[in-house]
Structure 1
């Protein structure tokens, strides 16, 4: 079976939800997937075009008064099969995190201790905001989407994000403490 990009598989998966238009797909990405999988707006429409060309989805156009026509996409049986095949295969590799604060910390011998501490404190604040965002998303799912078939799986991915973020906050606190306790560097 032909291999596709992870973006293609992600959009095939999104099409199993109530999201059927490019705009709806972008909204779902912005409100959930972006926290663990980046897809730019510029990737959505070319991927949708490819999905239709490969007969993984169909597109229907509906007129909207005073707006451009709305294109809505539905998975074909072939599209469902491609998605299921991808889902059932093991992951290819453990993801490698790209983290600017870790990169800067690795070379922090070449900057002032106070700047290193400032960067770590800033990172911790951003992580705390992210944790609050995740808590808000969790509340929204348990309040408004608890009856959806996907809700349990959404909450599992959210739990992963919350745990990783909480661990990163703890790492910041420990690292800040250790750097602060060292002499002038």
Structure 2
């Protein structure tokens, strides 16, 4: 995605080396700021359902070996738990953030917590049906 934005002249990049490996840092160009403002001002919603390959795997896991669905959900749960722990640490590290700054972040936190609840519920169901 960043490569396409760079090719379109909407961002510029430079390599920065602080600690650790070099990082490519991106900044909006003037044209990029204009496009961003236009996009943010557009109230048209993209209601295309997202594609979720994990849920597709869970759906078809009944055709796999017994326990495959549970293994998928356990791995997914561990991944989401790690993300959520990092986000919660980040939330604590940003005490000065305004409520507006935190709107999207809170969405991610709440969705992460809900996902963990779904994983736990799903693992209970899978345990009951012997999958």
Match of 1:181? 128
Please point out which of 63, 67, 70 is paired with 1:114. 67
Aligned counterpart for 1:129 among listed residues 79, 82, 102: 82
Instruction: Decide whether the 8 Å contact of 2:62 with 2:69 is kept in 1.
Output: no
How far did 1:116 drift? 1.3
State how far apart, in whole Å, the 2-side matches of 1:94 and 1:128 are: 27
1:38-94 deviation per Cα after TM superposition (whole angstroms, max 9, x unaligned)? x44x234213x2x48xxxxxx8xxxxxxxxxxx976537x954x5434322213322
Q: 1:153 to 1:96 in 2, by over 3 A?
A: farther
Decide whether the 8 Å contact of 2:70 with 2:126 is kept in 1: yes
Residues 88-138 of structure 1, C-alpha deviation per residue, up to 9 Å, x if partnerless? 221332253332220111111211231211110111011100101111221
Deviation per residue, 1:10-46 (Å, 9 max, x gap) = xxxxxxxxxxxxxxxxxxxxxxxxxxxxx44x23421
Q: How far does the alpha carbon of each residue in 1:142-183 deviate from its partner, in whole angstroms, 9 at most, with x for none? A: 2xxx26xxx43331111000111111111111111001101x
- TM-score with structure 1 setting the length: 0.53
List gaps (5 residues or longer) in structure 1: 1-38, 53-58, 60-70
Of the three residues 106, 112, 118, the one matched with 1:159 is 106
Return closer, same or farther for 1:91/1:163 CA change in 2, 3 Å cut-off.
farther
Counterparts of 2:33 and 2:54 in 1: how far apart (Å)? 40
2:117 to 145, 170, 175: 170
Distance 2:27 2:66 in 1: 54
Root-mean-square deviation (CA), in Å? 2.9
Structure 1 residues 112 and 87 mapped into 2: Cα distance closer, same or farther (>3 Å)? Answer: same
Q: Does 1:141 align with 2:102?
A: no
